[in-house]
Amino acid sequence: MANLTPARTLDIKQILAYQRNRYPVLFLDKVLELVPCVRATGVKCYTYNEWFFPGHFDDEPNVPGFVQIESLVQTFILTFLCQEEYVGMKTNFVSMNNVKFKRKIVPGDVLRIDAELKSFKRGIAMGCAESSVDGEPACSAEFVVAVPAILDQYKPKP
Amino acid sequence: MQKGNPMTNREKYAAAFQTTLMVEEAKLSNLKYQDVSTWDSVGHMALIAALEATFGIELHIDDIIDFSSYAAGQAILAKYSIRMED
């Protein structure tokens, strides 16, 4: 069983324990640094064995935009899901703003993701993340993410 | 609201609903939780956050749960000394 104690780094077993994304939609391999409720730095290594490369595209494989966004947000949610009371909770997008794609990501690229949690209150998390390959900016976005299990605790009763 | 005059508490309260839930002023008085698609669990948190920011208060969890309508909210805010003008 994975150790759920907050740590400075996370391996794949700990990532699987903290959050609910699984193959084929888990786009994070490890976390290099995690400061609970503040920030996280993750890494995703893309190889041609990824399921989407043959279809996107057969003559020019590159990482689809939605996958890049998922890499960002999956790193982002770990900033609060690493807290004992939230471990393993599912999350939903509420909104995304200022999404920018600046570099094509291709097989062999190692994506670094830096995510920052700006606020987390009553199941609503706000923050941002940006990714890079070899120091070159790749993708960035601002997020609002909800944790439905927490929101349910505050819903008016019928 | 007259030009140059500060907003009353009632105007601020209505504005929070209109801005957050995108509901017309005419429909506010009878509005209840989930009457409109925007007042779901996420919209509820956004509304509470907007009201807390507007009035400089922090609502207790029991009051957030009891905040089930436009009318009920006015009574709840009164507990925080936020009174709606006649």
Domain count, chain B: 1
| Catalytic residue check, A82 | no
In chain A, domain spans: 12-154
Read off the pTM: 0.86
Chain-chain contact of A154 with B65 (C-beta, under 8 angstroms): yes
User: Minimal Cα–Cα distance from B26 to chain A, Å?
Assistant: 23
> In this structure, is residue B37 part of a structural domain?
yes
Q: CA torsion sign, A101 to A128 to A21 to A11?
A: positive
pLDDT at A1: 47
Report the complex ipTM: 0.82
> In this structure, is residue B48 part of a structural domain?
yes
pLDDT at A112: 98
Range of the domain at B49: 9-21+30-78
> In this structure, is residue B54 part of a structural domain?
yes
CATH number at residue B46: 1.10.1200.10
> In this structure, is residue B4 part of a structural domain?
no
Using 50, 70 and 90 to split pLDDT, how confident is the model at A157?
A: confident
Q: Catalytic pick from A7, A16, A21, A56?
A: A56
User: Minimal Cα–Cα distance from B85 to chain A, Å?
Assistant: 26
Residues in chain A with CB shorter than 8 Å from the CB of B68 are 156-157
> In this structure, is residue B43 part of a structural domain?
yes
pLDDT at A152: 93
Edge to edge, the sheet with strand A124-133 lists A30-35, A39-45, A110-121, A124-133, A136-146, A92-101
Q: pLDDT by residue (tens digit) across B38-56?
A: 999 999 999 999 999 999 9
- Complete DSSP assignment for A5-48: S--S-B-HHHHHHH----TTS----EEEEEETTTEEEEEEE--T
Average pLDDT score, chain A: 94
Tokens of A4: 């759920």
The correct answer on CATH 3.10.129.10 for the domain covering A12-154 is: yes
The closest of B3, B6, B62, B73 to B33, measured between CA atoms, is B73
Q: pLDDT by residue (tens digit) across B63-80?
A: 999 999 999 999 999 999
> In this structure, is residue B67 part of a structural domain?
yes
